[in-house]
Structure 1
C-alpha cells in the first residue's frame, strides 16, 4: 500500500472507531477495507451494518466507489432496494448490497475518503454515530458545580454555550459561557417533570447561540455520586423541546447535560437528525479530570516494556497514555528530546512538525541525528557515497520518527515537514489532546496560544536563553523556562511572551528583511543540557497533569530555572480580563472552535 492509502485507512479508523477493521492490500498500491459496526438510520430493519470499499492507489484524487454494506439490508416499509442501492453483490467474500453513489467533491484536502464514505451511503439514511465529548476550563466547571451542588440536595439548572469542533469523526463541545438559572425565577416547578427552566430564560441564550454559532446546552443536576443518567421525564422533555430548539439554532446542535457528583451524562442533538451521548467530559485544570456517566470498565493490559512505570500510575494511567494524541512543534534540540520521552512513556499517537533539515551544527543537540544525516552536497566525498548517504532521512521530522519508532515500535507517528504558522499545517493538531511548543519563532507562539485558547487543547511552551557578556566574555544570564498554557490561564499575550515587533519582522519575506536591514537575526547559543532541563520538566508536567497526579496546591504558572545561581522561580501571571485571546469577553477567541479563523497564513 502506498502512503496515501495508509493515511486514508488511519483516517477512516479514526472517524468511525470500528470494532472490526479488515484490510486487504491490492497489487497496485491500493487496498480493500471492511469495518463496522456503523449505526443505520430509522428506515431500516437492522440497527447496524458493516461498510466496505476499495481505496484506489490514486487516493485522495480518486473516489472510494462503490461502497458496500451488509447483504441482508432491508427497509422497514418493505420497499425494494433500487439503484443506486442494489442487492446481490459480493465483496471481500461477503454477500453485499452495493451503494453506487459517486462523491461530488473536487477538493482532495476536504473530500477525504472517510467523508466520501459518509456521503456515499447518505447520512440521511445511515446517520453516523458521533463520538462526542464536553470540555470545560477548570474555572467554569468549578462555578457550575458550586451552583448545582450548594448542599441543599435539590435540583438546580443552568445554560451553557459551547464552541463546536468536528474533526476526525469526533465532536468536541467547548464550554465558553455559563448562565446560572435563578431558583424560583428562571428554574421553576415543571409542567410535566419536577423542575424546568422557563422559556423566557432559555430564549435569549438560544438566540445568542444562533448569532455566535455556538451550541446551546441546558444542564441540571441529580443526586448520587459516580453514576448519573437522564430520567424518563428528562428524555420526554428532550423529545418535546429539542426539535424546536434545533429550529431556533438554525444549523447548530443543541443538547442537554445532567450532572451528579463525579459523573456527567449528555444527550446532544444534531441538525441532520442524529443524536449522541457524551463519551467523556474533560475538565482542563492543573490536573486534567475525566468524568463519565458511569465508571469506565477499562481492562487495558500494558505491554511488559512499561511495567516499571505502571507500578507508579497503574494500568489505567498507561491506558490513558496509549490513547493520547500529542503534538510536538519543533524537532530540534528540545523537540527531539520530547519525542523520545513521549515515545518511551507509551504515547499512542504523535504528530511532529518542523520544516527544517539537519546540518552539522545540530548534531550536538538533536537526539538521534548522525553525521550521515548532516552530509551536504558541498562535502568533499565521492559522488556514490553522497548518493548512498542521501538515502537516509535528513529532515528533522524524519529523524524524530526514527527515534520514536526505535523507542516504541507501536507508536503512530505523523511527520509534517512544514511551517506551523501555515493554516494547513496548524490544523493538523486540532484533534490532539496536548501540544508542546519547542519552536522559537513568534509566529509559532502566536498560533500555539490561539489554538490552546480557541480549541481548548492544553499545552506547554519550552525555551532556553543564553545571554553572553560580549565585553568580557562571561555570561550575563542562562535560564530555561517552561510555560504552561491552559484555556484562560497562562496566555502568552497576557504574559508579554509574544513580541509584536518581532512578529512584524517574521511576517516579512527574506528579501524584505534583507532590504529593510533586519538581517536574519543573531544565532542564539544552544546546549543540549539546557534543552534537557526544559524538555524533562515539560514532559513530567504533562505526565502528572494528564494522569491527574498533581497535589491540589499546584498552580499552572511559568517556571524559570536560572542556571548560574541554581534558582528556580515560579512566575505569577495576572490575566487581562479584556484579552481578545483568553478572556471570556464576548469578542474573544476563547472556546470558539470552528467559529473563528486562526491567526495563520494561507
Structure 2
C-alpha cells in the first residue's frame, strides 16, 4: 500500500519550534491524522499535533529521546473512535535516515498501537530535519517498515519530499523547464497528481499547460459533452467532437496523450457532486477549480479543507449586452490553503447563493417556483466567454502554482493569495492572505467522514437508494 503524509505550514512550523530547542536535545510529537483511503494511495492528513513536554521525557540527548508512552492512551482511544492514524514525529540534526534506536523504538511501539486499534489501517513514524525536510515510513502490525511515498507541506509555499529516486536522464522536452525553474521543481512536477475540475473554458487551458509542464498525472472531472457553442473556447475540440457529442474529459485526455510527454490521465465524466469524483480529487496533491457555480466552488473549498489540498480557483466574467457592447472583462485567481482564509471568508459567495445554486442543480422546478415568488435570488444561467480571457487567467493560475513550488518573486507568496485583473479597466491587483475562515478551518485534515465532507448529498446511503 502506498502511504503519504500531508500537513499545513503552521503545523510544520510548530514542529520545527518544538523539535529543535536551544538545548540541542531531541524531542518528540504525536500527530492525530485524518485519512483519505484512496484506490492508489492512503493519505494521512495531520489534524492535531500533541507536543510531548520536554520535562516528561526520561532521557533527552542530542541523539535520542525516551518518553512515557502512557501519553498515547487517550490518543489511541480517540484514533480508535474516529478512525484516525497515529504518527510519531521526532527531529534529527543533519542525520537524514532512521537510526538503529529509531528502528527498535518503532518495532516496539507500533505493533501495540495496531493491536489496540485493530482496523489494519496504516500508522506511521516521521522525522523532521533541522533544515525543514521530512521523511517517514508506515509501520505495520508486525513492525515491518514501508517508506512513505511522499510528505508534503501546504502553505504559502508548497513543499514536497518524495521517496522515489529522481530520474537524472532529463528528456529534451523537460530541459527548458529544468533550465528555468531547476531540476528539483521539474522532478516535483513529474511526481505530482493534480485534479482539474471543469474542463471547458479555463479548464482546457489549465490542462494544456499542466501537461506541457510535464505534470505526472491529471484527474479530470467534468460531466458535459462538447457542443458547437463550445468550439471557440475549448482547446483541442473540433466540429467532429461536437457532432459526436464527445465528452470534454475524453477530448482533453486524447490531447494530453497525443503530446507523448508521459502525463497519465484519469478522465471522469462525472458531476463533482458524486462520491466517485470527490474521492478521486481527494487522492490528488493539488486541485484546480475551473467551475462557474458557487455550490461547486463551496464544495471544492470544503474538499480542500477536509483533505489538506492546495486549491487554485479560477474565475472569469464578461458583462456584455449581446450586441457588441461590453461593460466589463475581468478575471481572478484565488489560492486557498486549508486552515486559512476561504472563498467564503473572502466574500466570493454567501450561503444563500450556495443554496440557490444547489437548488437550481438538483430541483429546477422548485427553483423556478421560488424564484418566481421572490424567495431566492436567481442564478445566472448562461455567460458570455472568450478564449483569450480564459487563456490569460489560466496562465496566471499556472504561474501561481510554479511560484509556490519554486518561489521566485521578490515579495513573499503570502502577498499573492488573490489576483484580480480587469482588461476593460486596465487594472491588475493582488491581495494578501486574509484571516482564518471560522466556518471551514475547524474541518482541516478530517479526511474521510460519512457523509463525505459533511454534505448530505454525498452520502453513500443516498446514492445507493
TM-score (norm 2): 0.85
Pick the aligned partner of 2:313 from 452, 461, 471. 461
Matches within 5 A, 1:437-448: 437-448=289-300
Cα separation, 1, equivalents of 2:249 and 2:328: 31
- 1:11 matched residue in structure 2: none
Cα separation, 1, equivalents of 2:122 and 2:247: 43
Relative to structure 1, is the Cα distance of residues 414 and 229 closer, same or farther in structure 2, using a 3 angstrom cutoff? closer
Matches within 5 A, 1:29-40: none
The answer to whether the 8 Å contact 2:26/2:60 transfers is no
Post-superposition offset of 1:357: 2.0
Deviations 1:481-505 (A, max 9, x none): 0011222134223223343223223
Post-superposition offset of 1:480: 0.7
Matches within 5 A, 1:421-432: 421-432=273-284
Judge which range, 280-289 or 402-411, deviates more: 402-411
Matches within 5 A, 1:130-279: 130-184=1-55, 186-189=56-59, 194-224=64-94, 227-251=95-119, 253-262=122-131, 263-271=133-141, 275-279=145-149
SS at match of 1:507: helix
Higher relative contact order (CA 8 A, sep 6+): 2
Pick the aligned partner of 1:540 from 399, 410, 429. 399
The answer to whether the 8 Å contact 1:354/1:416 transfers is yes
The answer to whether the 8 Å contact 1:421/1:443 transfers is no
The answer to whether the 8 Å contact 1:331/1:354 transfers is yes
- 2:412 matched residue in structure 1: 553
The answer to whether the 8 Å contact 1:230/1:265 transfers is no
The answer to whether the 8 Å contact 2:111/2:143 transfers is no
- 1:511 matched residue in structure 2: 365
- 2:375 matched residue in structure 1: none
Structure index of larger Rg: 1
Pick the aligned partner of 1:298 from 152, 161, 166. 166
The answer to whether the 8 Å contact 2:314/2:332 transfers is yes
Cα separation, 2, equivalents of 1:450 and 1:205: 26
The answer to whether the 8 Å contact 1:490/1:558 transfers is no
Cα separation, 1, equivalents of 2:19 and 2:409: 26
- 1:564 matched residue in structure 2: 424
The answer to whether the 8 Å contact 2:290/2:314 transfers is yes
Contiguous gaps of at least 5 residues in structure 2: 373-377
- 1:23 matched residue in structure 2: none
Higher helix share: 2
Relative to structure 1, is the Cα distance of residues 342 and 266 closer, same or farther in structure 2, using a 3 angstrom cutoff? closer
The answer to whether the 8 Å contact 2:357/2:379 transfers is no
- 1:284 matched residue in structure 2: 154
Relative to structure 1, is the Cα distance of residues 133 and 552 closer, same or farther in structure 2, using a 3 angstrom cutoff? farther
- 2:347 matched residue in structure 1: 496
SS at match of 2:441: coil
The answer to whether the 8 Å contact 1:160/1:178 transfers is yes
Pick the aligned partner of 2:332 from 481, 484, 490. 481
Post-superposition offset of 1:134: 1.7
Contiguous gaps of at least 5 residues in structure 1: 1-129, 376-389
Post-superposition offset of 1:529: 1.9
Deviations 1:551-600 (A, max 9, x none): 67121511111223322222345334642x223xxxx2x11122452335
Cα separation, 2, equivalents of 1:174 and 1:232: 27
TM-score (norm 1): 0.67
SS at match of 2:278: helix
- 2:224 matched residue in structure 1: 356
Deviations 1:329-359 (A, max 9, x none): 1111111111211221122322222122222
Deviations 1:343-400 (A, max 9, x none): 211223222221222223222211122233334xxxxxxxxxxxxxx3xx63222322
SS at match of 2:199: coil
Judge which range, 421-430 or 232-241, deviates more: 232-241
The answer to whether the 8 Å contact 2:314/2:393 transfers is yes
